[in-house]
Amino acid sequence: MAGGNHVVVVGAGLGGLTAALHLRGAGREVTVVERDPFAGGRAGRIDLPDGRGGAFRLDTGPSVITMPDLLEEPLTAVGEKLGDRLDLVRLDPAYHARFADGSELRVHTDGDAMEQEIRERVSARDADGYRRLRAWLTELYGVQMATFIDANFDSPLDVLSPDLVRLGLLGGFGRLGPRIAKFIDDERLRRIFSFQALYAGVPPAKALAAYAVIAYMDTIAGVYFPKGGVRALPQAYADAAVSAGVTFRYGTTVTGLTRSGSRVTAVETDDGSIPADAVVLTPDLPVVHRMLGRTPRRAVPLRWSPSAYVVHLGLDRPMTDLGHHTISFGDAWASTFDEIITDGRLMSDPSLLITRPTATDPTLAPAGGDYVSVLAPCPNQDTAPDLDWDRVGPRYRDELLGVLAGRGIDLGDHVVAEHRISPADWAGMGMAAGTPFSAAHTFAQTGPFRSSNRIRGVENAFLAGCGTTPGVGVPTVVVSGKLAAERVATLGRS
């Protein structure tokens, strides 16, 4: 059959789930194969016992949810609405930012509220600059969305359009840090509107200004949290997919792909063979290439994003002085990026993301307790191959809690349960170079230059997930599933 009527999706992460929903909405028969006993992929989950019969419900993957309009599209494909499956709460403020000098800023996504915050706590000049920055970010997003994010590429020539010219005129091909500095003077504000570049694997001073689009999602479009935890998002997708007729095979590991000429004809698993007219592959790129039995042909090896060391802490009392998201900035800034990206060293003066999801949903911790996670950017395993995380990890955990205590956030005396995730753990989950952020968004790994969701020489296998277009982040991974489904549609039907 040439049409790809039965599609096997490998992986029930957000990319695989959204591909499955779009494919099912287009009338395909879909089977999703997932090695874990639940949906989520990198949006993982662990229920951590508190020792008293209760449990802390941990999200082990992304903690920041943005762009609900993009999140709704996969459900729309099968005739459903996001609000019927998910209770999304808009966070206000989106973040609390704490700085080494003891000052604090609340990051509001409402323009009037943020302008007032800046006017009262920084300066009238920067409040006016923020308004100009907000307008620029909004226009930047509008230019990029249809042409550069929500689009399949077959050639770099595909981006030749009026939007490319507009992006250039907006300064999108300059550097992010200097571009933000054109609008605002205060160093603290510059960090707030540029730290998101690290999600893309590039320091703000070197990132393309076009990546300010992530700051748009973070600081303008709104930050949300689903009741029940981030795990509720992939579960909502999986439940909708089952209702629409998608078949799930959980606890099943893919062992290989059977090919006939240029086509994949079956997905091989530890529980048997599944015939396929087309496949969507969502594991990280090296895993996909091993499945295909091939070595990728790239003139320059892929450059991977920095990783993250994450400490999830179950506490015996509520930390009511912490909001949902707190960014604790160290005094150092540019040097910390050099340490983790270039030098392969841990940050000597770390900036940390502290997330307390129980601020929005107290049911994620047992009564009287609390749940906090601490994320420290760190080198990936390619940059720091000699870091022994079995040895370094526990000491680094203690160091991070000591740093936070010195900054007025004392967690250590109240820990009753914890779970740590290091680059070695990410690598054990199949993530290249031990990073959950996949390939960095350098110019040579962006847009039409990023690893294509088409596989050269294989006509009916396509990619979804953060390693392919459009890239890293929950909204873009959700878009990747739609783009993969559109690729399947090009196969036609017989």
| Interatomic CA distance for residues 250 and 168, integer angstroms | 46
Structure tokens at 457: 């020489």
The whole-number pLDDT of residue 305 equals: 93
Both tokens of 109, joined, read 């996504």
Q: What is the dihedral of CA 343, 345, 349, 352, to 10 degrees?
A: 110
Provide Rg for the chain, Cα atoms: 22
User: What are the pLDDT digits (tens) for 14-56?
Assistant: 999 999 999 999 999 999 999 999 999 999 999 999 888 899 9
Surface-to-core class of residue 162, CB atoms within 10 Å of its CB (0-12 exposed, 13-18 middle, 19+ buried): exposed
Q: Where are the domains of the chain?
A: 6-44+64-89+227-301+439-490, 110-221, 304-438
For the chain, the first-to-last Cα distance in angstroms comes to 7
Per-chain mean pLDDT for the chain: 92
A 10 A CB-CB count for 386 gives: 6
Lowest mean pLDDT among 14-18, 97-101, 214-218, 243-247: 214-218
Nearest CA to 380 out of 335, 422, 351 is that of 422
Q: State the residue for tokens 């090919």.
A: 259
Contact, 316 vs 416, CB < 8 A? Answer: yes
Cross-strand bridge partners of residue 314: 371, 417
At 347, is the pLDDT very low, low, confident or very high (cuts 50, 70, 90)? very high
Query: What is the C-alpha to C-alpha distance for residues 200 and 77, in angstroms, rounded to an integer?
Result: 28
Question: Cis before residue 306, ω within 30 degrees of 0?
Answer: no
Average pLDDT over residues 70-79: 97
For 460-484, how does the pLDDT look when each residue is reduced to its tens digit (9 = 90+)? 999 999 999 898 899 999 999 999 9
Residue 199 scores a pLDDT above 90: no
CATH number belonging to domain 6-44+64-89+227-301+439-490:
3.50.50.60
Q: Do 150 and 141 contact (CB within 8 A), yes or no?
A: no
- Whether the pLDDT of residue 69 is over 90: the answer is yes
Separation between Cα atoms, residue 81 and residue 435, nearest integer Å: 33
pLDDT at residue 202 above 90?
no
**Could you tell me the two tokens for 87?**
């209770």
